[in-house]
Amino acid sequence: MRQPKIVFFDIDGTLFTKDMILPQSAKEAIKVLQEQGVYVAIATGRAPFMFEDLRKELNISTFVSFNGSYVVADGEVIEKKPLHMQDLEKLCQFADKSEHPMVFLDHEEARANQDKHADIAESLRDLKMEYPPIDESFYKQTETYQALLFCGREEEDQYSRQFKPFDFVRWHRLALDVLPTGGSKAEGLRAVAKHLGYSMDETAAFGDALNDREMLREAGIGIAMGNALEEVKREADMVTSPVYEDGIREGLRKIGLLS
């Protein structure tokens, strides 16, 4: 097994517990990696403004955000793939007729198209995120890198069938990420590795959710958290302890980056 030179960490369920707590063992382990000269990056479905404090806390300036649609290396934007506005408008019209609310995000802020909707409130509360301001036309005024669509599992197939320019990835029982077709964290990893001069064989990635599957499969070493979904664990090269049982530290020990 080749020892990784750059390690990517998902946030929710990987660095953060379900209560949005960063275990001290994870923070200390990342600091040790950095002191040893191992490059550390984040790979998340979140928007950049949603984890700015975490980046500062961990001294990380390289990240894959929006599941690969907005990629930054050493503070420089190296890749961005906004959603196509006309296709997004068609999606919004269909969702509105189906009474499914949406939230739109660029790299700096978010806007909702409905006020005080219970599904938006519950889903974002689980991310410790406040209800966004209302602006139905926000996506027409900025580059939108991700949208959130709020509907139940039994209703999502209709979107996958009718809106081929988008991939729909569920992250909550009430919510889906809307991404450009074919977009993934794996694409972001490749962009960062190429920009920084690493091969994919020199990468490692930690994750736990459905949007981590491609990343874990394509990284040189993919490590699934012990709390990961079973289908995610099947894509990984190994499984570590759950996030709340020092899973980051244990995983780094397994791949030889910590003693």
Which are the catalytic amino acids? 10
How many CB atoms sit inside 10 A of residue 181's CB?
A: 11
Do the Cβ atoms of 61 and 51 come closer than 8 Å? no
The number of beta carbons lying within 10 Å of the beta carbon of residue 153 is 10
The first and second tokens of residue 176, run together, are 């889906």
Strand ordering across the sheet containing 166-172: 110-112, 102-105, 146-150, 175-180, 166-172
94: which 2 tokens?
């269909």
What residues have CB less than 8 Å from 176, skipping those under 6 apart? 148, 149, 150, 151, 156, 159, 168, 169, 170
Gap between the Cα atoms of 102 and 242, Å rounded: 32
For the purposes of burial, counting CB atoms within 10 Å of the CB of 86, is it exposed (0-12), middle (13-18) or buried (19 or more)? exposed
> How far is 204 from 5, CA to CA, in rounded Å?
8
Check if the beta carbon of residue 144 is closer than 8 Å to that of residue 82. Answer: yes
CA-based nearest residue to 79, from 167, 222, 209, 183: 183
